[in-house]
Amino acid sequence: MQYRQLGKLDWKASALGFGAMRLPTTDPQDRSTIDEPLATRMLRYAIDHGVNYVDTAYPYHNGESERFVGRVLRDGYREKVHLATKLPIWAIEKREDAERVFSEQLEKLQTDHVDFYLFHGLRRERWETIKQFNLLDWAERALADGRIRHLGFSFHDTLTVFKEIVDGYDGWDFCQIQHNYMDINTQAGTEGLHYAASKGLAVVIMEPLLGGRLVDPPDPVQAIWDSAGEVQTPVERAMRWLWDQPEVSVVLSGMSTMAQVIENVANASRYGVGNMTAADQDLIARARTKYQELCPIPCTKCEYCLPCTVDLKIPELFDILNRGVMYNRIDEARRRYDRMAPEQKAAACIACRECEAKCPQSIPISDWMVHLDEILGQGMDVDACLAEMAG
Residue 391 has pLDDT above 80, yes or no: no
**What pLDDT sits at residue 360?**
84
**What pLDDT sits at residue 197?**
97
| Helix, strand, coil abundance in the chain, percent, nearest 5 | 50, 15, 40
For residues 266 and 260, give the distance between their C-alpha atoms in angstroms, rounded to a whole number: 10
Lowest mean pLDDT across 197-206, 211-220, 282-291: 211-220
Model confidence band, residue 301 (pLDDT cutoffs 50, 70, 90): confident
Residue 378 has pLDDT above 90, yes or no: yes
* Cβ-based neighbours of 325, under 8 Å, separated by 6 or more: 294, 295, 296, 333, 382, 386
Residue 312 has pLDDT above 80, yes or no: yes
For residues 98 and 66, give the distance between their C-alpha atoms in angstroms, rounded to a whole number: 16
**What pLDDT sits at residue 231?**
79
Tens digits of residue pLDDT in 55-95: 999 999 999 999 999 999 999 999 999 999 999 999 999 99
Q: Note if the bond before 28 is cis, omega within 30 degrees.
A: no
Which residue type sits at 140?
A: E
The answer to whether residues 3 and 13 touch, using CB atoms and an 8 Å cutoff, is yes
* Cβ-based neighbours of 294, under 8 Å, separated by 6 or more: 218, 220, 221, 325, 326
**What pLDDT sits at residue 361?**
87
Q: What are phi and psi of 379, to 5 degrees?
A: 75, 20
The answer to whether residues 360 and 329 touch, using CB atoms and an 8 Å cutoff, is no
The answer to whether residues 365 and 359 touch, using CB atoms and an 8 Å cutoff, is yes
Residue ranges of the chain assigned to CATH 3.20.20.100: 3-285
For residues 334 and 372, give the distance between their C-alpha atoms in angstroms, rounded to a whole number: 10
Give SS3 for 282: helix
Which residue type sits at 366?
A: S
The candidate with the shortest Cα–Cα distance to 232, out of 276, 190, 180, is 276
Q: Mean per-residue pLDDT for 311-322?
A: 94
The answer to whether residues 55 and 66 touch, using CB atoms and an 8 Å cutoff, is no
| 202 beta partners | 174
Q: Where are the alpha helices (DSSP H) in the chain?
A: 36-48, 64-72, 95-109, 124-132, 135-144, 159-167, 189-198, 219-226, 234-243, 258-270, 278-293, 314-326, 330-338, 354-358, 365-376, 382-390
Model confidence band, residue 303 (pLDDT cutoffs 50, 70, 90): confident
Tens digits of residue pLDDT in 113-129: 999 999 999 999 999 99
| DSSP-assigned states of every residue in 316-343 | HHHHHHHHHHHTT-HHHHHHHHHTS-GG
| CATH class for the domain made up of 3-285 | alpha beta
Q: Mean per-residue pLDDT for 20-40?
A: 94
